[in-house]
């Protein structure tokens, strides 16, 4: 993996190269280089499989972290490529032309985080949350308690327990 990363570093600016374990590395790059970098990794360096595309809301830094996890089956290694997007203008170029399944990930991230993937097919069509018009629910500033209190009615017979005390009573009822 080190040889591949050294070769790629000659062409693309990579930051924060991290070895998670022997067969898993993570790198960061800038938004402008992402699609070219991933294309290079796929076409030249054998990372033929997009394992997943996911996001993390780093609200304290004002960014979303996208992670593209790629697999090289010949070498039995995975590489996570991370890019950071401004939360206020969360937009990323689509990679669906490289892997068709990326369009599904991108639709989900659009709906759940509000990240737009320009050029992605059906990215604006409802995916999971049909009829939803509020704040995307995976954003960390989404108030789940407020949403549930406004949406659902309290049911009789429900109570809230302290988990530690509840488990203690269940496991050691005679104490």
User: E strands along the chain, which residues?
Assistant: 15-21, 24-28, 49-58, 63-72, 77-86, 91-93, 116-118
Question: What's the pLDDT score for residue 152?
Answer: 85
What's the pLDDT at 140? 96
Does the pLDDT of residue 67 top 90, yes or no? yes
Give the tens place of pLDDT for each residue, 1-42.
889 999 999 999 999 999 999 999 999 999 999 999 999 999
The domain ranges of the chain are 2-171
What pTM was computed for the model? 0.85
What pLDDT, in 10s, does the model give residues 121-143? 888 888 889 888 889 999 999 99
Looking at domain 2-171, which CATH architecture does it have? 2-Layer Sandwich (3.30)
Report the pLDDT value the prediction gives residue 37, as an integer from 0 to 100: 97
């Amino acid at each position: 993996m080190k040889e591949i990363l050294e070769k790629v570093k000659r062409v693309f600016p990579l930051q924060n190269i991290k070895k998670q374990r022997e067969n898993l590395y993570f790198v960061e790059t800038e938004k402008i280089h992402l699609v070219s970098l991933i294309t290079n990794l796929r076409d030249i360096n054998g990372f033929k499989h997009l394992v997943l595309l996911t996001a993390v809301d780093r609200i304290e830094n004002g960014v979303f972290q996208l992670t593209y996890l790629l697999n090289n089956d010949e070498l039995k290694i995975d590489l996570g490529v991370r890019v950071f997007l401004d939360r206020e203008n969360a937009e990323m170029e689509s990679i669906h032309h490289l892997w068709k399944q990326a369009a599904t990930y991108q639709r989900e991230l659009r709906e759940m985080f509000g990240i737009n993937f320009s050029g992605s097919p059906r990215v604006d069509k409802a995916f999971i949350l049909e009829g939803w018009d509020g704040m995307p629910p995976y954003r960390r500033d989404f108030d789940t308690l407020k949403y549930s209190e406004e949406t659902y009615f309290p049911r009789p017979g429900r109570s809230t327990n302290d988990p530690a005390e509840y488990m203690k009573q269940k496991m050691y009822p005679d104490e």
